[in-house]
Structures are given as C-alpha cells and as structure tokens.
Structure 1
Amino acid sequence: MTTGTEFDGGERPLPLAGVRVLDLSRVLAGPWCGQVLGDLGAEVIKVEHPDRGDDTRDWGLPTAGGTTYFDSVNRNKRSLGLDLATEEGAEIARTLAAGSDVLIQNFKRGGADRLGLGYARLSAENPRLIYCSVVGYVGDGPEADRPGYDLVVQGESGLMALNGRAEDPPLKVGVAAVDLFTGQYAAQGVLAALYERERTGRGRLVEMALYDCGLSLTSYVGLAALALGRDPERVGNAHPAIVPYGVFEAADGPLVITVGNNAQYRRFCAVIERPDLAEDPDYATNLGRSRHRDRLGPQIEAELARRPRAALIAALQASGIPCGEVAGLHEAVRSERTAQAGMLADGDSPVLAPPYRIDGTRPPVRRPPPGLGAHTGPILTELGLDAVRIAELRARGIVAG
C-alpha cells in the first residue's frame, strides 16, 4: 500500500487529489460513498465516536485494524475519534466542514441540525460545500423518521421477491446490496455536484434514500412487474427471457453458460453434439426456446451433466459462447485472475483494491483501513490545536486517546 496521492508512475495526481471529504457517516452506505471518493484521490477524514467507533467495528471477523465489515468500506481514509455530542466536538467538526469540499452524513432525521451540523448552517458558513445526506426514506415524506436498514428495504422494495425459484421463500441478496448501491449512487451525485461547482462556485445538497435506491435496483424486473400487473415468475439461476442462460451442472461441478443469440445457440448445440436441437423449429428462436424451456431444458442439462467442466468451458469458449466456472468466494478472491487484475491489496489485513482503471492504471490503496482514532492527533494539529489542548480534550473523552 502507498501513502501518496499520485499514480501512473508518479506523473499525474489522482482525479480527486486536493478534494477534502468529511465523512460523518457510519455503517455501510455513507462510508462506501466516502471510500469511492477516497479511492479516486480525495482526502477523507472519517469521524467516529472516540470510544465505540463506527458500528461496523463490532461486525464480522476481527482484523489488524478493525473488522472485515469495517475494512470493506473504509480504505483510503484517516480516522478522527471525536464526540460530536459535545459542543467542543461539534465545533471541531464545524471547523473541518468549513475547510472541506464534501460532507457525508447519515444521522437520523434532525440529528445533524441538533448538533449544529445541518446543511443550512454549514452551507452558509461554506457556500462551496457539497453536503451529502443518506437516509432511509425521503426526508419530506411520511416515513422520514424511520431508520434505514438494508434488509428491511430489500423486503419493502421487492428485491427479495425477485430472487430464487418459484417455490423458494423470499431471499435477500448475498451482500447488503441496497447499502452498497446507495453509497455508489451517493458518490455519483457528489461527483456531479463537484463538476457543477467548477462552473458555479457553489455547492449542493445531495440526498439519497435507501428505499429509492433499492427500488431502482429492481431495474428491468421492476418494469416487467408494471407491464404484467403482477410479480414476474421467479426462475432461480436461469434467465426469465433467455434460454439457455444460467447455472448448469457439468459432470464435476457447476458452470455458467449464457447463450445470447440464435447463432450462439446453434454453435452451442454443436458443442454438446445435439444438432437436432438446433434444427428443431420450436427452438430456432429465443422466443421459441423460452416458450418450450420445460422440454428443452432437461435435454440440455443431461448433455452437460455427462461432460467434464474444463472440457466444456474450453469447447464453449473456442466457439465464442460466454461461459465460466462457478467459483467459491475464497477461491475467487485468491484466484490468479484476481491477482493478475491487481484487485487484492495484501498487507496486515488484505483489502480489495479500487475497481477503477484510469489511463490504464489502477489507483493504489494509499491508506489501509484505519484503527479507531489513529489520526486524531495529526488532524487536530493541522487545525491549529496545540499539544496541551489536544491532551485536555483527550482527558475529557472528547477526542480519542
């Protein structure tokens, strides 16, 4: 891991170098937004309670500096342990906000205002500030006071109703998809506001609600529900409209096959040595294959089940048919493919690297996920507080010891 803001051989700075982000958020959605901005070069100061820290420091498996949950959304940040419930702590945060470009918060409704950290006050003091607020439900709606939780929103937004097979109960996504996508959408909104500020010189209020983002994730399936006037049929690992497309069992393990058009289907039939399936007029088009999937599917499954996976993948790839093995998660993160892509940053606690490539270079993990309050002293010193004042604040529990 590196500590500078440069990449591409040190010739050019990262795109957001020089941008300061004050991250007052916790758990996943807000911190993910801050991490995205940090990955792109921003200086991110993460404010945490000086004793408890972020909630996620108590979630998952312990690591060198935190936990697997915490580490997943807090690389490329510095940690300031600060009690915002005290007037001295809130004043330090306001001073930081006055010198920041972006502020991220996910307090319950009214919480930021009660601390003197609301948008109206901070934007008056710093008109260039881009203020990003992450909430559960729209702030001017009847549910504005409800806290936002990923799993609750997965249920309410219909996401759980589109996973699995018809006979399965509602199923959540394997990761906190609503939180993570809300964080990504929030970062996009912040970046748009930063771009606009170059023209206007003024910041913006960017508001993101978990429910809105969860509903947007239903995407084409949500539109299908509107068109049908009911829930679309659930098809598990298959595709509701494309056949064959899904997870299949080879003789020695699962693989994914995605036959995207009729030409690929004919080549697929040649690979499994079933030209009759290509010649059958019922299967000549995807619409026909989808209509007759109950008859076609078992025949394809039988052919795949008697062939070894590696041989199938080799033959399918040689024929230009998208496919791949189904890997275990540990197998995937430690795979040669991941290593070649530079997607794993090893250290005391390994973390995934930023997914971006800019000018052919992946931005580095400049800072590992920080220990609680690890940068409190340097940050307060940068604000002009002397050692005596910092020691006094520590003794009173206002900042991390």
Structure 2
Amino acid sequence: MQTDTRTLPLAGVRVLDLSRILAGPWSGMVLGDLGAEVIKVEHPDRGDDTRDWGVRVGDTETAYFNSVNRNKRSVTLDLQTPEGQRIAQDLAKTCDVVIQNFRFGGAEKLGLGYETLSRENPRLIYCSISGYDRTGPEASRPGYDLVVQGEAGLMAMNGEAGQPPLKFGIAAVDLFTGMYSAQAMLAALFERERTGRGRHIEMALFDCGLMITAYYGLEALLQGEDPPRYGNAHPSIVPYGVFDAADGPLVITVGNNSQYERFCRDVIERPDLADDERFKTNIQRAHNRAELLPELTRELRSRPRALLLERLARAGIPCGEVAGLREALLSERASAAGLVTTQPHPRTESGTVPVLAPPWRFDGERMPVRRAPPQLGEGTRDVLQSVLGMSDAAIGALKDKGVI
C-alpha cells in the first residue's frame, strides 16, 4: 500500500540498503517507517538470506524477512558483476544514506566503500555495521547475534540461578544495533543540515551488546563479580516479577515502599508482612527475599488471577496477565492501537499478509505502513527507470545477462 510521504519526517530522504539479515535491514526499516524512500538491493536469485528463514509467506518472503523489511522497495543486482556494481554506484549518487554490513573489506572490493562513494557524493551518510571494532584486531571476524550474546555477557545475566547461560528469545543484539544505527544516521542527517557534508558511521554488534548490559554491567564492575541471576524476578526490587495465581501467571511490579504496604494490606491481606522490620524498605526486602518470597508466593497461589488483578489495579500497583505471543498480537489492546495491519499480497491464498505497524506517533498519527515487505525484485524495473532513467531495452539486456 502506498501513501503520500510528503508530510512524513524523512520525506525526500533516499536510502540505499545494501545490508542483509537483521541489524542493517532493521535500521533501514526505521528510516523507511519515518518516511524515507528505501531501496533494498538483493541478489537476483536468492535475495536476502532471511527470505529462506522461518514461516513462508507467498513465494519469496518469510515472516522473518517481513519483520524487518516493510516500507522498502526490492531491487535485484548481482554485485559480483561490473554492471551490478556500476548500477549500485549510480544509485548511491542519488541517495542520502547508504547502509552496508558486508564482511570487513567486502564493500571496498565491490567499489562500494565509503571513500569511493563519498567522492562522488560528499553529502552521503554511510553506515557500516560489523561484528567487532573495525579498527581492532577482530575487525575481520563475522558478527552473529548469538555469538555476541555469549561474548558480551548477556547470556550470563539471563535465565534462572543455577541454570546454564540463556539467550534472549529474540536477536536482541541485532535489534539494538539496528536501532543505535538508525539513531546515528538521523543525527548525521541533522548535522548535515549545518555542515553540508556526510559522515561515515561505524557500528559494531559487540559494542551494542555490551551497552545493553546496562545496570547489570555496572553492578558487575562495582561488585567485582557477576551479579546473581534472578530469572523473571528483578535483581534490585522485591516483589517485582512473574508470579503464579491459582489459575495462571501474572506480572506484579511493586515499585516503592508505599506500594508494598498496600500490596500486603489490600491485595494479599497480610498486614504482618508490611509491619515486619525485615521488609520495611526495598533494600531490606531485596536482602531478605529468601524469607519474603515464599510467603508472597503462597498467598498469591491461593487466589484467582482476576481477583488479584482487580485488587492490584485498585491499589495502584502496575500489573498484568502473562499473555501468549499470538494472544498479545490479537488482543483488543493491540487492535485498538493499530499495531497489527493487514496488507495486500498477490501471492498468498488470502490475498493479504499481516504486517506490524511502526511504533511512532507524530501529532497523534501513527506512522503508516506505506509498502508491505517486498517480493524479491518487485521494484527493480521501476527504480532503475525512475531513479536512473534506464530504458526498457537497457533493463532487458541486464536481465538477459543475469545482472538483475
């Protein structure tokens, strides 16, 4: 579905997305969601690797691919050919932003490195995403989310005490790297308004993975050892986490001492736990959690979830059910917010495909899904004609040679 982009924040910005898999495409999708025109370059035969990952959608897409490629056009180019490289270079001349996550040195071998492209387009914002510091001894190492989750200490802080290291349920390092990259590109676009010149942004998965250890990371440095793992509980706040009611799990977040007192008196009807000196303050509750939590667990398990949620809400304590993933996506809350959309698709049985909507609202309006995630190469002819002015004959010759 196409929408007029002229009123969107990044209207008029053109992005050449040479990246694949997750971190790079996620950052490109962020720019596309905000109104940029994003041209995604893919191999003519196989496309982005994620077109072959997970649940199939139509002939060329998957749920994995679709999750990071809405609001883009797909242009197929064989970048191993001189013709494909020249077309990519010509496209870059017309673009404000280039995103790439080739292996170290790969973009330069293809004639698509920053130095080459910025000579022709000094205003170009060029974002390189790699696994590790591009100036360090591991610059050539490939970067994978799961590897970095291990190396950055994220697995060590995740999961239950006494259990093996545990990865996040999603590729958290890739996704955060994509968001950090988008932030950097937006900052560079803003700066360009003052200076008239572009920037070379260098992002590394390991750097971003280490950053998202956040307070856990600082506590490890201050304490001289890894903090304990608490699973669904909070390392510093008690009670705060997932608890079982008589008929299912719920989340309870008691954030301060007055909430704790109301929790004890009005929710579980145990004023003695509010008056107990061992539990008066949060620091004391965290220190004495081994004595407190069994009492709370017993009380919560004796009551139905609906009753607890009603009492918690009345007491002003943040709480909620633990929903299944599909249940959350189909919830009235998600529907009312317009977070799950249905987009036309010519190659599915229903003629549609579900696509998540961007999270941002500007002046009360959610950023639109202007384009469903693209079929492989759906925009090749249109982009080459409208952006580079190629003729039908020239495009046909490229197709015959396998360049597109």
| 1:234 to 2:229 alignment | yes
Structure 2 equivalent of residue 3 of structure 1:
2
Structure 1 equivalent of residue 28 of structure 2:
34
**Structure 1: 4+ residue segments shifted above 3 A:** none
Structure 2 equivalent of residue 14 of structure 1:
8
| 1:356 to 2:351 alignment | no
1:223 aligned to 218, 221, 224, which one? 218
Structure 2 equivalent of residue 310 of structure 1:
306
- Aligned residues, how many? 393
Q: Report matched runs for 1:2-401 at 5 Å.
A: 2-6=1-5, 13-64=7-58, 65-270=60-265, 271-347=267-343, 348-382=352-386, 383-399=388-404
Tell me the amino acid that sits aligned with residue 398 of structure 2.
L
Tell me, yes or no, if the aligned pair for 1:5 and 1:41 is still in contact at 8 Å. Answer: no
Q: Provide the rounded CA distance (Å) in 2 between the counterparts of 1:90 and 1:314.
A: 62
Tell me the amino acid that sits aligned with residue 384 of structure 1.
G
Q: Provide the rounded CA distance (Å) in 1 between the counterparts of 2:309 and 2:364.
A: 29
SS in 2 for 1:88: helix
Structure 1 residues 277-322: Cα deviation after superposition (integer angstroms, max 9, x where no partner): 1111111111111111111100000110011111111110111001
> What fraction of aligned residue pairs are identical, expressed as a percent?
65
Q: Provide the rounded CA distance (Å) in 2 between the counterparts of 1:378 and 1:398.
A: 16
Shift of 1:108: 0.6
SS in 2 for 1:145: coil
Structure 2 equivalent of residue 9 of structure 1:
none
Q: Provide the rounded CA distance (Å) in 2 between the counterparts of 1:5 and 1:345.
A: 18
Q: Provide the rounded CA distance (Å) in 1 between the counterparts of 2:142 and 2:272.
A: 57
Shift of 1:138: 0.7
TM-score, normalised to structure 2's length?
A: 0.96
Q: Provide the rounded CA distance (Å) in 2 between the counterparts of 1:293 and 1:200.
A: 55
Shift of 1:4: 1.6
Tell me, yes or no, if the aligned pair for 1:5 and 1:17 is still in contact at 8 Å. Answer: no
SS in 1 for 2:218: helix
Q: Provide the rounded CA distance (Å) in 2 between the counterparts of 1:170 and 1:374.
A: 42
Shift of 1:5: 3.1
SS in 2 for 1:247: strand
Q: Provide the rounded CA distance (Å) in 2 between the counterparts of 1:164 and 1:89.
A: 46
Measured on the aligned residues, the alpha-carbon RMSD in Å equals 0.8
Give structure 2 stretches of 5+ with no counterpart.
344-351
Tell me, yes or no, if the aligned pair for 1:105 and 1:133 is still in contact at 8 Å. Answer: yes
Q: Provide the rounded CA distance (Å) in 2 between the counterparts of 1:159 and 1:13.
A: 40
Tell me the amino acid that sits aligned with residue 375 of structure 1.
G
Q: Provide the rounded CA distance (Å) in 2 between the counterparts of 1:33 and 1:238.
A: 31
TM-score, normalised to structure 1's length?
A: 0.97
Tell me, yes or no, if the aligned pair for 1:102 and 1:130 is still in contact at 8 Å. Answer: yes
Tell me the amino acid that sits aligned with residue 52 of structure 1.
R
